[in-house]
Structure 1
């Protein structure tokens, strides 16, 4: 069974995160902790957005980061889909273009039916031509989730991904994420 192995130290200003764990790289893993405890920093380190000061990050046999070997795989080589609390969409691109960016990172051929299903399930089809600045917080989150899912990531990292989504849409998105977990 493939594992996610983390043994890192990250320093950001006065904040220092030292963490070490190994988990199965299947199913759902939740990180719980108070605000400011380093959950988002850890996610950023796994994805390659934040560089640890030292340590190792590995998914199965593939090493993402190893300070002793001066190895730091670029973000795009890690195959991680990331959805942060603030969505982080490309402001100069339309919703449709943001989703296509996810498709461009896909490891296989794009599947029109799957794309349509994700767009429909997230209720974002009518937003296709709009830019992120014109969207509500919940709409931005749904587009970010769609972009991440369409990239077919090896590892999907979600940082409070549905905190800005209204209750009725949460009821639609959560079962979809659970189905993805079950199919993994």
Structure 2
């Protein structure tokens, strides 16, 4: 369960959001500038709220009254950005292993096989990122995040930099991830069709405020 109740002033922009989600995929939906990326960065621990609390499954990550701010690297949260951010000098296998090693997690060959099978990237392991398509790079980025064994996965417009064909290629993998990996996700998008296919709950943001929260039906409003 993800609980968010925060306020943040970012220059002239004011963000105020409160919601509790038990969904497998919580979609953050809104136009550019609505506050989606700032909100997801606070959940990740990259930004601190000015006021409020953030918790996952009862564990407090931020509580401004109590002076609690768990640093990002201790939150056990995976983050996939719009650009895959793979290391160009490492091959796919080494990129996949990076998150595990940086988090001091023991190697788990069975888990690695499950993830590479889930995302259909086993045949890419010896390639460098420069030899991958945009969709392949995003699948590797997803794999790297999963192999760090997160309790929550954050995806900030992961299909935003892809053309329509690549988006259609990778969306089924995200649906499979939702249904098989059993890791809750927060998914940022301004594409309602994408969220209708993927999300189980929607947080609708407008001008830094939550204007609606519920099932995908809120996208029709």
Which of 57, 64, 67 lines up with 1:67 in the alignment? 64
Give the root-mean-square deviation of aligned CA atoms: 2.8
3-state SS of 1:156 partner: strand
Matches of residues 84-163 of structure 1 in structure 2 within 5 Å?
Answer: 84-104=81-101, 109-163=106-160
Aligned partner of 2:14 among 13, 16, 19: 16
In the superposition, the TM-score normalised over structure 2's length comes to: 0.69
Q: Which residue in the other structure is 1:7 paired with?
A: 5
For 1:148, what is the secondary structure of its paired residue? helix
Specify which of 25, 34, 37 is matched with residue 37 of structure 1: 34
- Greater percentage in strand: 2
Query: Where in structure 2 are there 5+ consecutive unaligned residues?
Result: 185-221
For the Cα contact (< 8 Å) 1:121–1:173, is it kept in 2?
A: no
- Whether contact under 8 Å (1:82, 1:156) holds in the other structure is yes
Report if the CA contact (8 A) 2:121-2:136 is conserved.
yes
How far apart are the structure 2 equivalents of 1:9 and 1:182?
27
Counterpart contact for 1:6–1:19, Cα < 8 Å: yes
CA distance in 1, matches of 2:25, 2:169: 22
Which structure exhibits the higher relative contact order, with contacts defined as CA atoms closer than 8 Å and separated by 6 or more residues?
2
**How many equivalent pairs are there?**
181
Residues 87/11 of structure 1: CA separation in 2 closer, same or farther (3 Å cut): farther
Per-residue deviation at 1:41?
A: 1.4
Range with greater deviation from structure 2 (84-93 or 26-35): 84-93
Q: Deviations over 1:7-56 (max 9, x none)?
A: 112233332211111222x5222222222211121111101112222221
Give the SS at the match of 1:50: coil
The whole-number CA distance in structure 2 between the counterparts of 1:91 and 1:79 is: 25
Q: Aligned equivalents of 1:174 and 1:133: distance in 2?
A: 26
Structure 1, unaligned stretches of length 5 or more?
A: none
Q: 1-side partners of 2:183 and 2:95: how far apart?
A: 27
